Amino acid sequence: MPRNHRAKRPQDLAVLLSTIDTQVANATARITALSSLCKAVVLGIRRRATEAINITNAANTADITNATNATNTTSTEILSEVD
């Protein structure tokens, strides 16, 4: 601690301790706010990733359904030509 910040009287010590206590409280509040912000950002990223996965899964399901329907139609056409 710099020499000019040392308490020379008990009252000075009380003021310094109060100042330090305030600074610690402010730092704690900033850390808590940053933590909350980080959590909100992570939740947003997770939500967007889930939406992207759901869209991809829906598109893949539609492609599989369309391919299955096309195969079934082709099989039916081939069987009807055999008769």
Report how far apart, in Å, the C-alpha atoms of 78 and of each of 66, 75, 83 are. 18, 5, 9
Where in the chain are the domains? 10-82
**pLDDT tens, 10-39?**
888 899 999 999 999 999 999 999 999 999
**Quick check: 16 and 5 in contact, CB under 8 A?**
yes
pLDDT in tens, 37-81: 999 999 999 999 999 999 999 988 888 887 777 676 665 666 566
- pTM metric for this prediction: 0.55
Written as six digits, the tokens of 19 are 């100042």
